[in-house]
Amino acid sequence: MNLILKPARLHGVITPPPSKSQAHRLLIAAALAGGKSSVLNLADSQDILATRRCLEALGESGPGLPLLDCGESGSTLRFLLPLSLVLRGGGVFSGSGRLMERPMEPYAKLCARQGILFAQRDGTCTVRGTLRPGSFSLAGNISSQFITGLLYALPLLDGDSEILLTTRLESGGYVDLTLDTLGRFGVRADHDGSRRFFVPGGQRFHPAHAAVEADYSQAAFFCAANALGHTVEIKNLSPRSVQGDRVILDYTQRLSRPGDVVLDVSQCPDLVPPLALQAALRSGQTASLVNAGRLRMKESDRLDTVAGELGRLGADIVQTADSLVIRGVDGFHGGVTAQAHNDHRIAMMLGIAATRADAPITLLDAGCVSKSYPRFWDDYISLGGFCEEERVCNT
């Protein structure tokens, strides 16, 4: 779907969609608990549908390894791979988009150490074997999703385990979200606050009832909109949330003050698109978003696509290996065609950017927001944003 977006003023009230990160975790815990658990306030984004589909496949009985279609969801793939070894002796994981290009080396090394088959070929990842308790060494700066995957699987083993991080933990807020979810379902995992997790074995997940919070990651785009002069009331964000991306409230305030600023995004990489958008219109001031190298292996090379697409609109933005340096300009230029690169966060960034352009822009592949926020364009229109589907004339 291609959309024509026109400058507009956003005003009104929205409730962000349920947190995708929390929903993955609650659904997996509820499936492991059995009995009668409930997870309220779910939204059927493509990523959440992938996790539900794969949980159903893991729960089915039958010969051979289960086939697990993860769509484009890195969370689904990395959370469920260790669990497949515990529950079914492995699985055959498939995906679409760039999913199977994203790093899996931590699990490959783990499987090699334990004598577990790990094979990636023809767009699939196959694991087969038995996960044994013990000591697991992982880098903390590749993706916290590997840590979460082990935190779900290790409590189910028949002995105690530990996870030792060989580098500083990044995106630690997502691990906090995992630990919070485990606790709700009666599972213990201890973190020393640094690089060691201790996980007692022989545990069971107990049924629980939970509701998914509104998502700070998606709310971030409307926080950026407000910083750019719009007036959007964002409802139902929990002030006590353990979501790491709640730091958007602090970071948008820091960008709203005069003067140059450096923001470390190692713990909140998904916030880079809305932060870059806000920084791009801080006329005469510079913002540096640093420690963002992991964004190169998201749905798109997100450092490159943020820099390229905002640059197409006239932003003064330079990328390095792991950062963006943004010198604010007065406004965005319209009259261009922008590309979402099959990346939901790039599409939402460009939607908000178009409201401050001096002429319409055409956004290609705008429908990719369905990965995490299917109703984004509906909410956008309800706030006064203008978008209409591009009509293609056949002659």
* Residue 148 CA from chain centroid, whole number: 13
- How many angstroms separate the first and last alpha carbons of the chain? 20
Which of 270, 343, 365, 379 is an active site residue?
270
Report the interhelical angle of 46-59 vs 74-88 (nearest 10°).
10
Establish whether 270 is a catalytic residue.
Answer: yes
Relative orientation angle of helices 344-354 and 272-280, to the nearest 10 degrees: 20
CA distance 136 to 172: 18
Residue with the two structure tokens 């009331």: 233
What letter would DSSP give residue 327?
Answer: E
Q: Exposure of 63 by Cβ count < 10 A (0-12 exposed, 13-18 middle, 19+ buried)?
A: exposed
Q: What is the DSSP string of 253-303?
A: HHHHSSS-EEEE-TT-GGGHHHHHHHHHTSTT-EEEEES-GGGGGSSS-HH
**Encoded tokens for 25:** 């975790």
Is residue 323 within 8 Å of residue 338, measured between CB atoms? no
329: which 2 tokens?
Answer: 């300009």
Burial of 249 (0-12, 13-18, 19+ CB in 10 A): middle
Give the Cα separation of 227 and 139 in Å (integer). 36
Query: Catalytic residue numbers?
Result: 270
